[in-house]
Structure 1
């Protein structure tokens, strides 16, 4: 978590979700997170859901369909 030097544990605490959930999102194990989880993450990161989902690096990333 290099955006603001925040740890997975701290982000989980700030977002009121489990550390396991955050880790699964980061590792790509959670393919389609629920909007509720994205909303909680955005609160933990002090941003809107739109800002959370609009990262230029991710906009240019291609994923293989599984």
Structure 2
């Protein structure tokens, strides 16, 4: 799994846990709907830490909580 895929899975997981949709979290977090759609559809390979932080604020979690999952822990280095 690549980092981008882990980010997408985490956003979808958090939407389900919060009982909201990507559109709903877009409104709550202030991340433009188009930006979030690009992230979720794989059009944007780098969502940016500012957007992730805004999403975390919308989900009412910390950045640490966002990235503290088995999926992120299992990622291999992408530096070649």
TM-score (norm 1): 0.71
Q: 1:2 Cα deviation (Å)?
A: 1.7
Cα RMSD after superposing both structures: 2.1
Instruction: Give structure 1 stretches of 5+ with no counterpart.
Output: none
Distance verdict in 2 for CA 1:58–1:5, change over 3 Å: farther
Q: 1:52 Cα deviation (Å)?
A: 1.2
* Equivalent in the alignment of 1:42: 56
1:28 equivalent among 18, 42, 47: 42
TM-score (norm 2): 0.62
Instruction: Give structure 2 stretches of 5+ with no counterpart.
Output: 1-14
Which protein, 1 or 2, shows the higher relative CO under an 8 Å CA cutoff with sep ≥ 6? 2
Runs of 4+ in 1 over 6 A off after TM superposition: none
1:18 equivalent among 28, 32, 39: 32
Deviations 1:8-33 (A, max 9, x none): 11100111111111122222222112
Aligned residues: 63
**For structure 1, which segment, 50-59 or 9-18, has the greater mean C-alpha deviation from structure 2 after superposition?**
50-59
Larger helix percent: 2
